[in-house]
Structure formats: C-alpha cells, structure tokens
Amino acid sequence: MSGYFCYIVVCADGTYYTGWSTAPLRREREHNRGRGARYTRFRRPVRLVYVESVPNRSAALRREQEIKSLPRHRKQALIVAGTQQTADLLKQL
C-alpha cells in the first residue's frame, strides 16, 4: 500500500469534497476541526466516504483532479463501487 490517498468526504449539506492526503483519517479530523479546506470549513461535520490508494504524490494530484471533474452522479457511483475497498483501506490505516 502506498502512502498517498485520494479521498471524498460528504459534507453536512450533502455536497462532496475531494482531496488527497498521506493520512486520510487525520485529514477528516482536520476538516471537522475547521482546519481543512475553506470549502469544508462551513459545511461541517464531514464524513469520509471514499478512499483510494495511489502510487505517489503526482498520481494523487492527477486523480484528485479527475474525481473533482466528475459529475455528482459519477462520484456517487464511485463511492458505492468503492465501499468495500474503502472499508478495507481504513482498517489498514
């Protein structure tokens, strides 16, 4: 497993925020403390719903942009399809 991850959190208002991190659980806590992205600061609490391992930082940045460019229904499908993968990754972290 690499040390880089792309993640999606669902915000209190139902919107999605996509980012990358080396520690997605820590990043979720930061978002919930208001120290995450400006977007999530006023949409707390957030909940981590998708995590994907990527090989390196540049791949994480590229994948983050790919996910951000998806329409909402494609993000929802990604979350549903990755539910087990996300659960498995979170157990390992």
What are the tens digits of pLDDT across the range 68-89? 999 999 999 999 999 999 999 8
Q: What is the pTM of this model?
A: 0.94
Domain 4-92 has CATH 2.130.10.10: no
User: pLDDT tens for residues 29-65?
Assistant: 999 999 989 999 999 999 999 999 999 999 999 999 9
Least Cα distance to 9 among 18, 1, 45 occurs for: 18
How far is the C-alpha of 85 from the C-alpha of 26, rounded, in Å? 19
